Structure 1
Amino acid sequence: MTKFNWREIGVGLIVPVALITIWQLIASMGWVNPHVLPSPAAVVERWIAYLLPQVPYSEAPGSWLAWAVSGELIIDSIGSMFRVASGFLIGAALALPLGLMMGASPRVYALLNPLAQVLRPIPPIAYIPLAILWFGLGNPPAVFLIAIGAFFPVLINTIAGVRHVDGIYIRAARNLGASQRTLFLRVMLPAAVPYILSGVRIGIGTAFIVVIVSEMIAVNNGLGFRILEAREYFWSDKIMAGMISIGMLGLTIDIGVNKLNNHLLRWHRGLEH
């Protein structure tokens, strides 16, 4: 089991704590307009109110809870994560077999690579008008945009993984009489797994970025929608609370994916157990 390196964690907290302290001092001294840059304490208070379940006015008369507590964060986070998971699974499910075919077959690669290279630089945000035109509003266009964002990282890394398999392994397998199917399943695919998992990690990160943008355009809930709503009412503390929520979710997802990668790649040389 991996032990926590508390010294390393402590060193990593020095800069964030220093920046937050400076931020709080600047806000406390009134050097900036609190509507433009609220204090960390105000942001944390808004984040807690954003997180806690809604409290009816009759249960907390005269309290800040009567107006500040909404309980929207859990619902918004669930909505955003549902879209991320749906879009990523669709994008990865399409990219993985296609990437394996393009990496294993020079003919398929020559046929499809020019199209992939033309479409790959187009950011998913550019598809927003088409997504709304094709799917209307709601989850479908958001899931479509996320699927595009996740598709190309998984595709490109899968192709690279299959095409960069060490030739020694391939020649050894052929000398031992391995069929093309066995060569692909027992040699090329396992050797490409580190590349594929790297693509999965990048694809999930891209999907999480795209979901925030898509929620600002096509849906009426989610973290992206809530940040846009807060901007309309000039609630800068709620904007930052939403940003903190995005960062925490993103960090949690990345840690989980990284641990999964380490577990699946225990056999890979150079990886510490």
Structure 2
Amino acid sequence: MTRSDTRDADLSTPDGVLPATAFDRRPTFLARNRDVLLGLVGGFVVLAVWQATVWAGWVDPAFSGSPLGALGGLGHLYESGNLVAPTLDTLRSVGLGLLISMAAGIPLGLVIGRSVVLHGLLEPLIGIMYSVPFVVFLPIIIFWFGIDDSARLVIVVWSAIFPLMINVVSGARNLDASYLQVSRSFCAGRVRTLWSVALPGTMPYILAGLRQAVGRTLVGAIVAELFMGTSGLGYVVQAETSNFEMDNAMAAIGVIAVVAVVLTRGVAWLENRLTFWSGSVG
């Protein structure tokens, strides 16, 4: 027997199959979903402490509600029709606002990021509009657009488009120089370069901005419903709080929290699926 035959015999099993290595083992369910499970445990602990303070008499449930009371309030909202329809109204505002923000913010961000002149002119204005809370513009928006659906849509788009644009501009300005070199080698025009080179190259930044925009869009929708809405989860919270139905209000807030988690987790999943080839952009 030669040395190679001896080595092959040592590595082989009686069935002639190589033994499984650590690289062949797939992560367990706990390992794959560790962050989600830890988040659920953390949320359960917070709710348990909250309920314990209510039972101990340290807080008044008439003013703060309680987790168990919120469960009853959730059933009451469902039976009264103040759960499904308002949730769909809020999701409709969020979805439409995101679509408009993406349709306007992504092309504008690419153009501004690839233009030295436009970036110098508009970058400070975009930063100001992003930094100043949009709530301070509510009186002006109401004066211009009234208190109907168009005004609420303006608030939703306003809250989402600027974080998205900031990320897209940053991605366009940090585009890999080799991509642009290939584009110039093929004599591609500016529009072709933006569509075929800049857009795919900035996809990690676009999805990172979208992840921020989703949260801000939901905030904008809820704020608009609180101040000028006649439907939606924000209006339900405002109406139930005005009637001192704190359990119902907490139930609606819980639904808002669930919607926020689902939306942000969905965008994070999409980001991981589409940009697995890229490093994290923050």
**TM-score band, normalised by shorter chain:** 0.7 to 0.9
Structure 2 residue 193 is the aligned partner of structure 1 residue 218: no
Q: What SS does the aligned partner of 1:36 have? A: helix
| Structure 1 unmatched ranges of 5 or more | 52-68
Q: How many residues align structurally? A: 252
Which whole-Å deviations, capped at 9, do the CAs of 1:3-62 have from their partners, x for residues lacking one? 7437724444333323322322322233322202333211111112212xxxxxxxxxxx
Q: How much is the aligned-residue C-alpha RMSD, in angstroms?
A: 2.3
- On the 8 A contact 2:73/2:251 being kept in 1, the answer is yes
Q: 1:25 aligns with which of 40, 52, 73?
A: 52
Specify whether residues 11 and 205 from structure 1 end up closer, same or farther in structure 2 by C-alpha distance, changes over 3 A only: closer
Residue 35 (structure 2) pairs with residue 5 (structure 1): no
Q: What are the Cα deviations for residues 217-238 of structure 1, in whole angstroms up to 9, with x where unaligned? A: 1111111111111221111112
Contact 1:124–1:146 at 8 Å: present in 2 too?
Answer: no
**2:85/2:232 contact within 8 Å kept:** yes
- Structure 2 counterpart of 1:50: 77
1:62 corresponds in structure 2 to none
Q: Which residue of 2 aligns with 1:140?
A: 150
C-alpha contact (below 8 Å) 1:139/1:218 kept by paired residues:
no
TM, length-normalised to structure 2: 0.81
Percent identical pairs in the alignment equals 29
Q: Distance in 1 between matches of 2:137 and 2:27?
A: 43
Q: Which of 241, 246, 250 matches 1:240?
A: 250
| AA aligned opposite 1:44 | L
Q: CA deviation at 1:165?
A: 0.9
1:4–1:143 distance in 2 versus 1, CA, 3 Å: farther
Judge conservation of contact 1:28–1:39 (CA < 8 Å) in 2: no
1:260 aligns with 2:265: no
Q: Higher relative contact order at CA 8 Å, sep ≥6: structure 1 or structure 2?
A: 2
Tell me the distance in 2 between the aligned counterparts of 1:249 and 1:43. 16
In the TM superposition, what whole-angstrom CA distance separates every residue of 1:124-180 from its partner, at most 9, and x where no partner exists? Answer: 212211221111122111100111111101111111011001223323543x44424
**2 CA distance for matches of 1:91 and 1:18?**
37
Unmatched segments (≥5 aa) in structure 2: 1-25
Mark the CA change 1:30 to 1:112 in structure 2 (over 3 Å): closer, same or farther. closer
Structure-2 change in CA distance of 1:3 and 1:71 (3 Å): farther
Structure 1 residue 82: deviation in Å?
A: 1.2
Partners of 2:253 and 2:27 in 1: CA distance: 30
- Say whether 1:206 aligns with 2:216: yes
Note closer, same or farther for the CA distance 1:119–1:38 as it changes in structure 2 (3 Å cut): closer
Alpha-carbon distance in structure 2 between the residues aligned to 1:19 and 1:112: 44
Q: Which amino acid aligns with 1:258?
A: A
2:113/2:172 contact within 8 Å kept: yes
1:188 offset after TM fit, Å? 2.4
Contact 2:157 2:217 in 1 (8 A): yes
Give 1 or 2 for the bigger CA radius of gyration.
2
| Aligned-partner residue type, residue 154 of structure 2 | F
